[in-house]
Amino acid sequence: MDIQDYHAYFLSQNPDFDSLSDEEKNDCYFWAAILEESKKSGHKAKPLSKKRQEQMGYVGQLLTLIIKGKNLKFTAERRRPISGFIEINGDTISITKPAMFAQAMQVVTNLDVYPKTDGTVEFDLAFYNDEE
């Protein structure tokens, strides 16, 4: 499939697709290409398992209790069929209970924390299915 095919497919699945930013569209195209290649290789991409969704929910709830900061915004979603994400943005982010945080991070696949050019901090947690 080329990019026009992906665009037509996403537009058919989501009438608001054209309202996404170019970066969001490219992200969709990228993951669609990965899934397409995965299908060709015989690898079956499975949706995020119920267990992983529950773990993501637990971690998200816990983080709202143990993370404090200024102008915090929590976002949790399944942006891609095979993964889930929790994103925290704020002017400042601090962890009030490090031991609980460390325990919760044991079920997170990937963690990124970085400063943004607007002076805020972004904290991203990714959840992928465990390898079977």
Q: Which of helix, strand or coil describes residue 64?
A: helix
Burial of 17 (0-12, 13-18, 19+ CB in 10 A): middle
- What does pLDDT average to over the chain? 77
Question: Is the pLDDT reported for residue 93 higher than 50?
Answer: yes
Verdict on whether the full-model pTM lies above 0.85: no
Q: How confident is the model at residue 112 (pLDDT cuts 50, 70, 90)?
A: very high
Would you say residue 123 has pLDDT above 80? Answer: yes
pLDDT at 3 over 80: no
pLDDT in tens, 19-63: 767 776 666 666 666 556 656 655 555 677 788 888 888 898 888
What SS3 class is residue 42? coil
Three-state SS letters, 15-35 = CCHHHCCHHHHHHHHHHHHHH
